[in-house]
Amino acid sequence: MFAYPMEVVSDIYVSKVGGFSCELDKDEIGINAKALEVNTSIIANETYAKLRFFGERAYPYFFKRSFRIVGLEENMEGYEFSPNGEVVLPSEFEDKSVLGKDVIINTVESFRIDQDYETVINAIFRHALCSEGLRRRS
């Protein structure tokens, strides 16, 4: 029924940029609410995502900006830019050169980390300490 967002790996989706809306805050992106419901496990207005355009240089994960995914309803301004589940960006990012470009929507953080960065940081430090201890023994 909807072409996008298309899940390529668990909790990672591909879509296209459909347009821009001044109704969205600078930390929000919009996607057709019905497309979210039918094609994804994304929970509108709760799930956060990191975006990346195809061909764009990869930045370290924690330096990427997070966006709250808003489900666009028929009465909302950006709805007409997302008829097939395309991504609608806030108007402050308006750049005609990105219209129609493929974009990766990464929601892994929302579903797996769930804003619990302290646990992630502790796990990284534990791993680093264990790795250092193994190197010293060798």
Give the range with max mean pLDDT: 83-87, 110-114, 122-126: 83-87
pLDDT at 130: 67
Number of H helices, E strands in the chain: 3, 7
Confidence of residue 133 (pLDDT cuts 50, 70, 90): low
d(CA 36, CA 65): 21
Instruction: Tell whether 97 is covered by a domain.
Output: yes
pLDDT at 34: 95
- Please return the burial class of 45, using the count of CB atoms within 10 Å of its CB with bins 0-12, 13-18 and 19+: exposed
Is pLDDT larger for residue 62 or for residue 57? 57
Is residue 112 pLDDT above 90, yes or no?
Answer: no
Q: 60-79: per-residue pLDDT in tens?
A: 766 788 899 999 999 998 99
Instruction: Tell whether 130 is covered by a domain.
Output: no
Instruction: Tell whether 46 is covered by a domain.
Output: yes
| Strand 28-32 with 66-72, pairing | parallel
Q: 25-38: per-residue pLDDT in tens?
A: 999 999 999 999 99
d(CA 22, CA 63): 25
Considering its fold, how many domains does the chain have in total?
1
Instruction: Tell whether 137 is covered by a domain.
Output: no
* Domain with 96 in it: 6-113
Instruction: Tell whether 134 is covered by a domain.
Output: no
Instruction: Tell whether 43 is covered by a domain.
Output: yes
Q: What predicted TM-score, i.e. pTM, was given to this entire model?
A: 0.76
Instruction: Tell whether 119 is covered by a domain.
Output: no
CATH number of the domain that 96 lies in? 2.40.40.20
In the chain, which residue ranges form alpha helices assigned H by DSSP? Answer: 33-39, 108, 117-137
Instruction: Tell whether 24 is covered by a domain.
Output: yes
Number of CB atoms found within 10 A of residue 79's CB: 20
